[in-house]
Structure 1
C-alpha cells in the first residue's frame, strides 16, 4: 500500500465557510478534523479539535446554519472539540467520495490551515490514489507533498509528549525530516511550526528523547 501526503488549495468558491472563518480570524491557532463517520447516509458526522476562541467559533457555526446539529466541548485553555452532524455541500461531498473510494483511507488528522489549504495523508493502492488525484473537483488544486510506502504510525511512545512536541514530530515526519536520505531540514520544520530553528530543534530533541526512552529494546 502507498501513502500520499496532500495539500489541497481551495479558492473562494470551494472553501467551506467554517474553514474560511477560522482561517481569516486571529482567534485560532489550529483547526483539525480528527474523526469522521463517512457512511453512505445523507448526513455525515465529524469531530474537530480546535485551538482558539470557543465562544467565537460557536457564534460562527450557529450563524452559518449549514449543520444539522453540533456539540461543543471545552477541553482546556483555548482548546475544544466540536461534534458536527452535517450534510456536505456539493464540493465537500465530491471530496469525500474521491478519497474514500475503493481501497482509499484518509488518515486523520485533516488540517484546515490559515492559507485556505487542507493537509492530510491518504493510503491505498496506487491505481486508486491516481484515480483520486485525477477526480479532484474544479476549484481545488492538489499539491502532492510526498509519496511512499505506508508505515505504521508511532504507538504508545508518544503518549507523554506535549502538544507542540507531537506537532513537531508529525511535521518532521510528513516533511521528510526522518527520510533516508533526509528530505527536509530543521529550518523546514521550523517554518511549518512558525518558530525559530532553535525552538524547533529543541521540540524535536525532547520528543525524540521521550520516544526512545519508551521503547522496549
Structure 2
C-alpha cells in the first residue's frame, strides 16, 4: 500500500464556512478533525479537537446553517471537542465520495489551517490514489507533499528519507541532542563520512520533516 500526504487549498467558493471562520479569527490556534462517519444519507458525523475560544466557536457554529446537530465539550480553558452532524455542500460530498471509495483510508487527524488549506494523509492502492488526485473538484488546489510505502509506522519517522533517518540516529547516539550537547555537527559528519555542511543540511531537513509531520 502507498501513503500520500496531501495539502488541499480551498478558494472562497469551496471552503467550508466554519473552516473560513476559524482561519480568519484570532480566537483559535488549532482545528483538527479526529474522527468521522461518512455513511449518513443526508449528513455526516465528525469529531473535532479545537484549541481556542469555545464560546466564539459555538456562536459561529450555530449560525452556519450547515449543522443539523452538535455537542461541544470543554476539555480545558482553551481546548474543547465538538461532535458535529454536518450537512455537506456538493463539493464536500464529492470529496467524501472520492476519499472513501475502494481501497482508500484517510488517516486522522485532518488539519484545517489558517491559510485555507487542509492537510492529511491517505493510504490506498496506487490506482485508487491516482484516481482520487485526478478527481479533485474545481476550486481546490492539490499539492502532494509526500509519497511513500505505508508501513503502519509513526508519521514523523515515515516523513524521513533513509539518509535523514541515519543522520538523526547517528546524531542521537553521539549526543548531538543531549542537554548540554556532547557532540557537534563535525562529529556527526565524521561518523557519516561527509562534510560538516552536508551533515548540517541533513540535520536541518530531518528536523524540519519531523516537526512538520507531528500533529502539534
Question: Is contact 2:9-2:117 (8 Å) kept?
Answer: yes
How far residue 41 of structure 1 moved from its aligned partner, in angstroms, is: 2.0
Matched residue, 1:163: none
Question: What is the aligned-residue RMSD (CA, Å)?
Answer: 2.0
Give matches, 1:3-22, under 5 Å.
Answer: 3-22=3-22
User: SS state of the match for residue 162, structure 2?
Assistant: coil
User: SS state of the match for residue 39, structure 1?
Assistant: coil
Matched residue, 2:103: 103
Matched residue, 1:91: 91
Return structure 1 stretches of 4+ with deviation > 6 angstroms.
Answer: none
1:66 aligns with 2:66: yes
1:186 aligns with 2:207: yes
Where does the alignment leave 5 or more consecutive residues of structure 1 unmatched? 155-169, 194-202, 204-217
Could you say which structure has the larger radius of gyration? 2
Q: Aligned partners of 1:189, 1:62: CA distance in 2, in Å?
A: 37
Matched residue, 1:167: none
User: SS state of the match for residue 83, structure 1?
Assistant: strand
Distance change in 2, residues 1:115/1:173 (3 Å): farther
Question: Is contact 2:157-2:210 (8 Å) kept?
Answer: no
Distance change in 2, residues 1:153/1:185 (3 Å): closer
Give matches, 1:1-217, under 5 Å.
Answer: 1-39=1-39, 41-154=41-154, 172-173=156-157, 176=159, 178-182=160-164, 184-187=205-208, 192=212
Distance change in 2, residues 1:50/1:142 (3 Å): same
How far residue 77 of structure 1 moved from its aligned partner, in angstroms, is: 2.3
Query: What's the CA shift string for 1:154-204, capped at 9, x where partnerless?
Result: 4xxxxxxxxxxxxxxx5x446x3x3312283435666x59xxxxxxxxx9x
Q: Aligned partners of 1:40, 1:29: CA distance in 2, in Å?
A: 30
Q: Aligned partners of 1:77, 1:152: CA distance in 2, in Å?
A: 34
Matched residue, 1:161: none
Q: Aligned partners of 1:146, 1:188: CA distance in 2, in Å?
A: 10
Q: Aligned partners of 2:61, 2:40: CA distance in 1, in Å?
A: 24
